[in-house]
A and B are shown apart, each in its own frame.
Chain A
């Protein structure tokens, strides 16, 4: 019988599953042996059930204004626990360094006087907001939630492609992917010990509560969404539901006397922490775009007065700018006195005339990225672009070199993916999510693996029609400590506390009185006889 992975081509890139044809890497051995006996049709049938589950649950992504089910590939991605430990450390390190950088940018500015980063890099950034200067968040956290995009290069090392410190989306798919996979393919999990992802909302809520203005006993947290037409609205609703907090729109909030409140049926209710999923530009018409109708006027002043916390903080965009990205390794050394655990992709800044000329000469071998683009917009992959695109790009780059960075293309790793009933390699990336509560950076074990479904496609992004994979982080053999139960009021008893065994369930009356049943049947038989045509022998 042809097996599922027969003829699976291995290219130049690192493959997540296979070290050599038919030889899976260590973390994948279990998955390989449970998938192998399945046929392509069988797997495709399961994939249909999977996408039906998503349609029913309304797990959608609005793409170009249209609601579409979010494509989930049926073959999970597996990450071994040692490998994961590196990612965990690297992500936490990066978040702490960027956190320190932001505090510096909107505070003393020592990083500029020490000549680590030129001040102009920050002041020319579209995301630098003077309005945020001197605004110190209550527990010092500005990056409550972050998503650090990683890719695996040809040698199998993870490299950072991009930091997202404003409002990274996608975490809801991590949660729903796991739930759907465990419902549709429970046997795949088999003997795996996969670290759970379902406690993300409670971690997030705890971090948001920890960031509340001081002196608030039981803070009220709300999630501020742009509205139902936003591409990530599904995620906003899911997070709000699972955190048990109110999902508000700008018009539900009112700010007066430096205090933000929400309008409720019982009058105005104070709000202490706003987890906002609205861009800075639209957040507060008083300070930013005055035409914004989805923000809340005065919210920034309230934050400055220390009456409300905005999460993530205003002005974080300066630290996830693609130009600043090139300095992050330096920032890690400067603030933490550590070497970066995760390397950047090889990147060139276009700040010297010599580099600009060299880049212009080699456009066809480089990836050019606009520094303030997101969602894969505007990226030009040199080796794949046609003459005209390159010519246009050259003009743009020459006009405004500050707007671009150049990267050496990375051969993104591939992962087996179900395409038209067959398993084929497709490029993947990984976005781990980190939650910072002021004392600790917690990295959600798994993160979002995005997969570029068109063959050979290198831009992996959900706003460009990509899919995703459930991402398994194998748990270490024994938990370091018992799963933490964040409460001090545990009630524990044992069966010894019971007087006797638990009672059985009430059985209900017997409804098969054999005698009556047979007599009832005879009655029926007589009726049948009587209905027989007249004259027939009885």
Chain B
């Protein structure tokens, strides 16, 4: 398939997943501000912004600023609105491979954003977060139901998986790094959609090392870092299959596969105690892994030459 299309699909996967995860995180964050009587709002907001990659210079922030930056900023692909618009832009350029339903779903989402924004102003942001979660589920659900499992599917899911690794790692960081302004583990689990699965798995009160383990290492919960890495790896292996057949007998065929595989084996074979003891470094590593893997995927599959300007030869 065309590199350009592949790249669009990869980024649709990333952007939609990012919007979904950000909505979950913000939903829990705003609810926490309302429900927790002892919270220090300014610090909690500053921490959240910092860990999402938007540190505030003066170390103080309020909910207004958090929402403006992470929910409504059109120009930034890190905000919900920005990510969904970017996903839609990418889809616009790849309409011939996307099913009409997926395109329409993304387009409707994009078109409804201004109205959702007004609603959020009037009735509180919860309705927006809920809308975004539902629309993301719809996009991936339609993809699941209507896309052939060919390269286009693999790129979409690869993008989603890498983004998931990054976002879950960031969410874990908000807990382990924020000290006494940190959300409780219950909230961290809730904001990754993992609370009920966790309760059913461990049948008991939330315990911090188990919760960290669950979000980092669980094989069966689809939003755990491990499960997402495993899925990304499977996509990469499938994409490189042809190359392997053609005689790569040592190692893996692509750099991205190597990076993702190494991170996955680190989680799988390192002792759990050891991982938990160095959690901040591991989480930071995982976030960087995602960036590196994303770059490697780009240079392996999407390399596009910069537009060339033809200079007429001067007639000597």
Ordered by A's residue number, 22 sampled pairs between the chains whose C-beta atoms are within 8 Å are A183-B124, A185-B124, A193-B37, A194-B37, A196-B35, A244-B199, A483-B38, A485-B208, A487-B206, A487-B207, A490-B208, A493-B177, A499-B284, A502-B284, A504-B54, A506-B14, A506-B166, A507-B78, A509-B7, A509-B298, A511-B86, A516-B307
Does the CB pair A508–B35 fall under 8 Å? no
Instruction: Provide the residues of chain A in CB contact with B294, threshold 8 Å.
Output: 506
Instruction: Provide the residues of chain B in CB contact with A516, threshold 8 Å.
Output: 307
Q: Does A491 belong to the interface (CB within 8 Å)?
A: yes
Inter-chain CA distance A189–B30, complex, in Å, is 12
Query: A491-B276, A498-B280, A511-B89 are known contacts. Are A503 and B126 too (CB-CB below 8 A)?
Result: no
Query: A508-B11, A511-B93 are known contacts. Are A491 and B279 too (CB-CB below 8 A)?
Result: yes
Does the CB pair A205–B205 fall under 8 Å? yes
Instruction: Provide the residues of chain A in CB contact with B14, threshold 8 Å.
Output: 506, 508
Residue of A at shortest CB range from B278? A497
Q: Does B55 belong to the interface (CB within 8 Å)?
A: yes
Does the CB pair B124–A186 fall under 8 Å? yes
Q: Does A501 belong to the interface (CB within 8 Å)?
A: yes
Inter-chain CA distance A194–B36, complex, in Å, is 7
Q: Which of B37, B123, B186, B287 contacts A49 (CB 8 A)?
A: B123
Residue of B at shortest CB range from A206? B205
Q: Does A120 belong to the interface (CB within 8 Å)?
A: no
Does the CB pair A244–B31 fall under 8 Å? no
Contact with A along B164-176 (1 / 0, CB 8 A): 0010001001001
Query: A202-B206, A505-B53 are known contacts. Are A493 and B34 too (CB-CB below 8 A)?
Result: no
What's the A-B contact tally at a CB cutoff of 8 Å? 147
Instruction: Provide the residues of chain B in CB contact with A230, threshold 8 Å.
Output: none
Q: Does B142 belong to the interface (CB within 8 Å)?
A: no
Does the CB pair A487–B205 fall under 8 Å? yes
Does the CB pair B280–A493 fall under 8 Å? yes
CB proximity to A under 8 Å, residues B195-237: 196, 198-209, 212
Query: A49-B123, A185-B124, A186-B30 are known contacts. Are A506 and B196 too (CB-CB below 8 A)?
Result: no
Expressed in whole angstroms, the minimum distance between the Cβ of A288 and any Cβ of chain B is 30
Inter-chain CA distance A491–B280, complex, in Å, is 10
CB proximity to B under 8 Å, residues A11-68: 46, 49
Inter-chain CA distance A487–B209, complex, in Å, is 9
Inter-chain CA distance A178–B184, complex, in Å, is 18
Q: Does A439 belong to the interface (CB within 8 Å)?
A: no
Q: Which of B18, B31, B287 contacts A502 (CB 8 A)?
A: B287
Inter-chain CA distance A186–B201, complex, in Å, is 32
Q: Does B15 belong to the interface (CB within 8 Å)?
A: yes
Expressed in whole angstroms, the minimum distance between the Cβ of A37 and any Cβ of chain B is 14
**Most chain B beta carbons < 10 A, residue from A220, A489, A513, A515:** A489
Inter-chain CA distance A266–B166, complex, in Å, is 36
Expressed in whole angstroms, the minimum distance between the Cβ of A302 and any Cβ of chain B is 21
Expressed in whole angstroms, the minimum distance between the Cβ of B17 and any Cβ of chain A is 12
Expressed in whole angstroms, the minimum distance between the Cβ of A162 and any Cβ of chain B is 30
Q: Does B77 belong to the interface (CB within 8 Å)?
A: yes
Does the CB pair B287–A503 fall under 8 Å? yes
Residue of A at shortest CB range from B63? A186
Q: Does A353 belong to the interface (CB within 8 Å)?
A: no
Listed in ascending order, the chain B residues whose CB lies under 8 Å from chain A are: 7, 11, 14-15, 18, 30-31, 34-38, 50-55, 77-78, 86, 89-90, 93, 123-124, 126, 166, 170, 173, 176-177, 179-180, 184, 186, 196, 198-209, 212, 276, 279-281, 284, 287-288, 290-291, 294, 298, 302, 307
Q: Does A475 belong to the interface (CB within 8 Å)?
A: yes
Instruction: Provide the residues of chain A in CB contact with B173, threshold 8 Å.
Output: 502
Does the CB pair B35–A198 fall under 8 Å? yes
Q: Does A184 belong to the interface (CB within 8 Å)?
A: yes
CB proximity to B under 8 Å, residues A483-538: 483, 485-487, 489-495, 497-509, 511, 513, 515-516
CB proximity to B under 8 Å, residues A452-510: 475, 479, 482-483, 485-487, 489-495, 497-509
Instruction: Provide the residues of chain A in CB contact with B291, threshold 8 Å.
Output: 503, 506
Residue of B at shortest CB range from A502? B51
Does the CB pair A491–B208 fall under 8 Å? yes
Inter-chain CA distance A503–B124, complex, in Å, is 30
Inter-chain CA distance A251–B276, complex, in Å, is 43
Does the CB pair B38–A498 fall under 8 Å? no
Does the CB pair A508–B15 fall under 8 Å? yes
Instruction: Provide the residues of chain B in CB contact with A506, threshold 8 Å.
Output: 14, 166, 290-291, 294
Does the CB pair A503–B288 fall under 8 Å? yes
Does the CB pair A182–B35 fall under 8 Å? yes
Residue of A at shortest CB range from B129? A183
Instruction: Provide the residues of chain B in CB contact with A198, threshold 8 Å.
Output: 35, 186
Residue of A at shortest CB range from B37? A193
CB proximity to B under 8 Å, residues A177-230: 178-179, 182-187, 189, 192-196, 198, 202, 205-206, 209, 220-221
Does the CB pair B37–A195 fall under 8 Å? yes
Instruction: Provide the residues of chain A in CB contact with B34, threshold 8 Å.
Output: 182, 186, 189
Inter-chain CA distance A49–B130, complex, in Å, is 14
Instruction: Provide the residues of chain B in CB contact with A242, threshold 8 Å.
Output: 196, 199
Q: Which of B18, B55, B180, B209 contacts A501 (CB 8 A)?
A: B55
Q: Which of B38, B93, B179 contacts A193 (CB 8 A)?
A: B38
Q: Which of A46, A49, A209, A489 contacts B207 (CB 8 A)?
A: A489
Query: A195-B37, A489-B209 are known contacts. Are A498 and B176 too (CB-CB below 8 A)?
Result: no
Expressed in whole angstroms, the minimum distance between the Cβ of A275 and any Cβ of chain B is 13
Q: A202-B205, A244-B203, A515-B307 are in contact. List 14 more A-B contacts (CB 8 A).
A: A185-B124, A196-B37, A198-B35, A241-B199, A244-B198, A483-B184, A485-B184, A487-B205, A497-B177, A498-B281, A499-B284, A502-B53, A504-B54, A505-B53
Does the CB pair A187–B124 fall under 8 Å? yes
- Cβ-closest 6 pairs across A and B: A244-B199, A193-B37, A504-B53, A183-B126, A182-B34, A475-B37
Inter-chain CA distance A307–B198, complex, in Å, is 28
Residue of B at shortest CB range from A489? B209
Instruction: Provide the residues of chain B in CB contact with A498, threshold 8 Å.
Output: 177, 280-281, 284
Residue of A at shortest CB range from B86? A508
Expressed in whole angstroms, the minimum distance between the Cβ of B169 and any Cβ of chain A is 10
Instruction: Provide the residues of chain A in CB contact with B212, threshold 8 Å.
Output: 491
Q: Does A245 belong to the interface (CB within 8 Å)?
A: yes
Inter-chain CA distance A516–B309, complex, in Å, is 12
Residue of B at shortest CB range from A472? B37
Q: Does A243 belong to the interface (CB within 8 Å)?
A: yes
Residue of B at shortest CB range from A500? B284
